[in-house]
Structure 1
Amino acid sequence: MDIAMELIDSMLVKFKSEGKWTLQAIAQLSEEDITWSPNAESNSIANLVAHIHGCVHSRIETIFFDIPDTRDRDQEFERGLQMSKEEAYDRIKKAFDTIIQYLEHLRSKPELVMSQPFLNRPPLTYSQVNNETTVLNLMIAMVREVHYHTGQIIYAAKVRKGQLEWQYD
């Protein structure tokens, strides 16, 4: 197996697992837990879900579905952001489904891993990558970004609920 396929397969395993645990955590919470924040400077689960969804939109949906970037990053971090438990669950599920769908697309076309999909697009906003980035660099950045914020979601869920119940399959 070549290195591109190994990386894609590793990322697929990572994102499928991360999505599973995040969805299980959110499913165990109350409506109030979704918008709770430990203090005025901390993000709620609603903020973190909105942010992950925004990252997926601006970094993956724009290239995979060829749609304009309509992300409002500042809104993702508004204090008191309202989001129902169902909306949080659906938005994080959609984000992970999109990431997995894109990785499966890359699996069928591994030559795209070194492509530069943003070269002929408007300048990227709110991104740790620039228009010259490769798909590989973009996806590595997504692994870091998503893992960091799903860890925060699971930690906040544990703070609110205490012991979480996990389903292993």
Structure 2
Amino acid sequence: MEIALELIDSLLVKFRSEKKWTLQAIEQLSEEDIVSSPTSESNSIANLIAHIRGAVHSRIETILLDIPDTRDREKEFEKGLAMSKEQAKTKAGDAFDILIRYLEHLRSAPELLMTQPFLHRPPLTYSQVNNETTALNLIVSMFREVHFHSGQIIYAAKIRKGQLSWNYD
């Protein structure tokens, strides 16, 4: 179980770091920056945050909190999706907090890493993993997904603002 705990601890550090940098980037943006898209074919920061939050809802909240999957993925990518800066910070923070809580849950019972949490649940929607996936595969997939979109958020913020300021504490 030592390697399982090392993996979980490593992922906790990574998700906490992603949360910090993503929220710092959002904090430096205006309301207009949140809903603006770099190009007509690009997603806005609002779209990316809605997508991260939707993925966390459908893949993690359903397991951790036994909340039915009510995700509307198409809405996450609507052009002109409205979202205030406060909503953006709240949605992003909530998504990271849920992921961190799930990892802390796994840390308290690392044997759960190899279980199949969706095996007896309705089919997963909009997911690259199927109902036979393990908790380990799910959390690794979530890290890839969140890291990818957090990077897009920070890049879009840099496009809007040029230089961003970072607090390394």
Structure 2 Cα separation of the partners of residues 23 and 39 of structure 1: 23
Q: 1:118-129 counterparts in 2 under 5 A?
A: 118-129=118-129
Structure 1 Cα separation of the partners of residues 66 and 28 of structure 2: 35
Structure 1 Cα separation of the partners of residues 92 and 50 of structure 2: 8
Alignment match, 1:31? 31
Secondary structure, counterpart of 1:56 in structure 2: helix
Q: Which amino acid aligns with 1:61?
A: E
Q: Which amino acid aligns with 1:28?
A: Q
Tell me which stretches of 4 or more aligned residues in structure 1 moved more than 4 Å.
none
Q: Which amino acid aligns with 2:139?
A: M
Q: 1:78-97 counterparts in 2 under 5 A?
A: 78-97=78-97
Structure 1 Cα separation of the partners of residues 71 and 167 of structure 2: 33
Q: State the Cα distance separating 1:34 from its structure 2 match.
A: 0.1
Identity of aligned residues (%): 75
1:2 aligns with 2:2: yes
Structure 2 Cα separation of the partners of residues 33 and 67 of structure 1: 32
Q: Which amino acid aligns with 1:110?
A: P
Alignment match, 1:55? 55
Check the 8 A contact 2:38/2:159 in 1, yes or no.
no
User: TM-score, with normalisation over the residues of structure 1?
Assistant: 0.99
Alignment match, 1:146? 146
Deviations 1:40-94 (A, max 9, x none): 2100000000000000000000000001000000000011111000000000000
Alignment match, 1:46? 46
Superposed CA RMSD: 0.7
1:16 aligns with 2:16: yes
Deviations 1:9-38 (A, max 9, x none): 110000000000000000000000000002
Q: Which amino acid aligns with 2:26?
A: I
Secondary structure, counterpart of 1:119 in structure 2: coil
Task: Structure 2: state its 5+ residue gaps.
Answer: none
Deviations 1:108-149 (A, max 9, x none): 010100000000011111000000000000000001000000
Q: Which amino acid aligns with 1:22?
A: T
